[in-house]
Copies of this chain bind each other. A is one copy, B any other.
Amino acid sequence: MTERNVISLDKIKVACRDCSLSALCLPMGLRPEDVDRLHAIVKRNRPLQRGDNLFRAGEPFRHLFVVKTGAVKTFTQTNDGDEQVVGFHLPGEVLGLDAIQDGQHGCSARALETTAICELPFERLEDLSSNIPSLQHQMFRLLSKEISHDAEMMALLGRSTAEERVASFLLSLSERFKRRGFSATDFFLSMSRQEIGSYLGLALETVSRLFTRFQDDKILKVERKHVQIIDIDRLRAMVTHQTDAERHRANPST
């Protein structure tokens, strides 16, 4: 995390008070008065406990949700009964973007631990972004970012080995924790092996085996739900897939 980012994150923290709206405020920067207008429509939810549903698939869509603290999983159900995890949502991340299109949630969301949530009435958010071009732009970016992320995930699921998937998953968590000011090398997994496996298209046993293998190889220290990344470079080296855009950023001459 660069010095600059720390500063702007702090600024936003003040501007957005204790509510994690930085996804919407950052990084184009709304004017302070626009941030206030955004805040005016935010509802606060009572905290969710582990296992509580935030919403269920099929329910009408009225609000976007932003995770303040804690963690949430989103999932659908396969018709053979068990659940398919489609995403994990950490502080500052937005839920419900898939539901805009047809006015009902396409997946369910459930708290993985004690979790605080902000609620944004979508109609009012739309009205607001009609009047605040930079907010509209930010909304487009937010949705687009989700699409990019999903494309990366599809590439990962489409062609990678189990090792690559687990490494990539850990790196993704690391990145996201870092971005929110938590430790990038030392964090808790609030989701079970089962849930990680479901998300990565692997059996829970495979996830467990890879965790122990990474530990044996001195890449990680895993103690149940607590992960400590020891050699992040070896972890990065496992992830072979690299988008052209990433390559281009790393070496613009090619």
Contact = CB atoms under 8 A, between A and B. Distances in A.
A106 B151 contact: yes
Interface in A228-249: 240-245, 247-249
30 contacts: A56-B244, A57-B244, A58-B244, A58-B252, A77-B242, A77-B247, A78-B159, A79-B241, A79-B242, A79-B247, A80-B240, A84-B158, A87-B151, A98-B147, A98-B148, A100-B141, A100-B143, A100-B144, A101-B144, A104-B248, A105-B245, A106-B245, A107-B244, A126-B133, A126-B137, A130-B130, A130-B136, A140-B143, A150-B153, A157-B157
A154 interface: yes
Q: A interface, how many residues as a size bin?
A: 35 or more
Q: Could you tell me the dominant secondary structure of chain A's interface residues?
A: helix
Copies of this chain in the oligomer: 2
Interface string A47-89: 0000000001110000000000000000011111000101100
A245 B107 CA distance: 7
Nearest to A145: B101
Interface string A35-53: 0000000000000000000
Nearest to A123: B137
Interface stretch (A14-22, A171-179, A193-201, A215-223): A193-201
Given A136-B129, A158-B199, A151 B98 contact: yes
A43 to B, nearest CB: 20
A205 interface: no
Interface string A153-175: 11101110000000000000000
Contacts of A86: 151, 154-155
Given A76-B241, A99-B144, 14 more contacts: A57-B245, A76-B244, A78-B240, A78-B242, A80-B240, A97-B147, A100-B144, A102-B148, A126-B133, A127-B133, A130-B136, A150-B154, A153-B154, A157-B157
A76 B148 CA distance: 12
For the complex of A and B, the 9 pairs showing the least CB-CB separation, nearest first, are A57-B244, A58-B248, A150-B150, A100-B144, A158-B201, A143-B143, A157-B157, A101-B144, A101-B145
A243 B137 CA distance: 31
A9 interface: no
A10 interface: no
